[in-house]
């Protein structure tokens, strides 16, 4: 068995190959390779919300519910391992622990990453999978990096950036609109309003 390599979430961008899907890009912690994984829009949004911290949904998303459920029953996700690649599909496992007993649960990779972000669990893959599917990304790639935080707007709106439609609103009006958008669970709009507020503060 080849050795484990730790990965970080580098970013998410609209998939150029599959309509309606997103490319989650993981990068190796101690190396230049990245692992792009195609995921659905719901999982992409769920991962972005977990990373953002600023936007709190009024009702829990599925992965938030899983986290609450796990917390109540003292289940901890220790790590995520992307352990297999077959015909372009990644297979993952959650390594969970309860009462010092470890269990391994099979899961879709997108769900595994969404949960890892909520449990602050490390993400790993095997060296041979990185050899198979890893790519060397150029710095100019249009993806969020540590210096350019991932945002739901980048994730959901793949159109070129337009002039803000909130430029005439006051900060007070923007904060009111932000609260309304979150209450209505319109996270795309909430992200855009939040970005406008951040530009001014």
What is the spatial distance between Cα 70 and Cα 87, in angstroms, rounded to a whole number?
32
Kindly write down the DSSP assignment for every residue of 96-111, as one continuous string.
Answer: EEETTEEEEEEEEHHH
Q: Is 44 part of any domain?
A: yes
What is the spatial distance between Cα 174 and Cα 73, in angstroms, rounded to a whole number?
40
pLDDT band, very low/low/confident/very high, at 150 (cuts 50, 70, 90): very low
pLDDT of residue 154: 46
Q: Is 83 part of any domain?
A: yes
| Total domains, the chain | 2
- 185 pLDDT more than 80: no
- 143 pLDDT more than 60: no
Alpha helices by DSSP H, listed for the chain, are 41-52, 62-72, 109-119, 127-133, 152-156, 171-183, 187-200
Whether the predicted model's global pTM rises above the 0.75 cut = no
Same structural domain, 112 and 195: no
- 145 pLDDT more than 50: no
pLDDT of residue 193: 81
pLDDT of residue 153: 44
What is the spatial distance between Cα 103 and Cα 179, in angstroms, rounded to a whole number?
40
pLDDT higher at 198 or 114 = 114
Same structural domain, 22 and 117: yes
pLDDT band, very low/low/confident/very high, at 125 (cuts 50, 70, 90): very high
Percent of the chain with pLDDT strictly greater than 70: 83
For residues 110 and 40, the answer to whether their CB atoms sit within 8 Å is yes
Q: Is 175 part of any domain?
A: yes
- 192 pLDDT more than 80: no
pLDDT of residue 31: 87
Same structural domain, 168 and 75: no
What is the spatial distance between Cα 115 and Cα 54, in angstroms, rounded to a whole number?
18
Domain of residue 193, residue span = 159-200
Between helix 109-119 and helix 41-52 the angle, nearest 10°, is: 10
Question: For residue 22, what is the domain's CATH number?
Answer: 3.10.690.10
Q: Is 141 part of any domain?
A: no
- Spatial strand order of the sheet with 33-40 comes to 101-108, 89-98, 76-86, 123-126, 4-14, 21-28, 33-40, 135-136
pLDDT of residue 1: 58
- Average pLDDT for 110-137: 91
The residues pairing with 106 across neighbouring beta strands, listed in sequence order, are 93
Alpha helices by DSSP H, listed for 9-99, are 41-52, 62-72
Average pLDDT value for the chain: 82
How do beta strands 76-86 and 4-14 pair? unpaired
pLDDT of residue 195: 74
Q: Is 93 part of any domain?
A: yes
C-alpha distances in Å from residue 115, one per residue of 31, 33, 77, 184: 24, 23, 8, 24
Same structural domain, 123 and 168: no
Q: pLDDT tens-digit profile of 59-112? A: 888 999 999 999 999 999 999 999 999 988 899 999 999 999 999 999 999 999
Same structural domain, 182 and 99: no
What is the spatial distance between Cα 104 and Cα 67, in angstroms, rounded to a whole number?
17
């Amino acid at each position: 068995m080849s050795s484990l390599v730790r990965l970080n979430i580098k970013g998410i961008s609209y998939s150029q190959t599959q309509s309606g899907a997103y490319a989650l890009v993981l990068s190796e912690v101690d190396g230049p390779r990245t692992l792009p994984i195609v995921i659905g829009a719901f999982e992409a949004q769920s991962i972005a919300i977990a990373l953002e911290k600023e936007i709190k949904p009024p009702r829990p998303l599925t992965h938030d519910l899983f986290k609450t459920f796990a917390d109540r029953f003292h289940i901890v996700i220790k790590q995520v391992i992307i352990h297999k690649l077959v015909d372009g599909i990644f297979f993952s496992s959650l390594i969970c622990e309860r009462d010092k007993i470890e269990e391994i649960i099979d899961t879709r990779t997108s769900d595994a990453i969404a949960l890892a972000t909520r449990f602050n669990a490390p993400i790993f893959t095997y060296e041979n999978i990185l050899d198979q599917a890893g790519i060397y990304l150029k710095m100019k790639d249009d993806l969020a990096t540590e210096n350019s935080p991932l945002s739901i707007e980048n994730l959901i709106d793949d159109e070129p950036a337009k002039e803000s439609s909130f430029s005439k609103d006051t900060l007070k009006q923007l904060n009111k609109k932000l609260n309304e958008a979150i209450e209505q669970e319109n996270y795309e709009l909430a992200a855009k309003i939040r970005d406008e507020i951040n530009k001014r503060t």
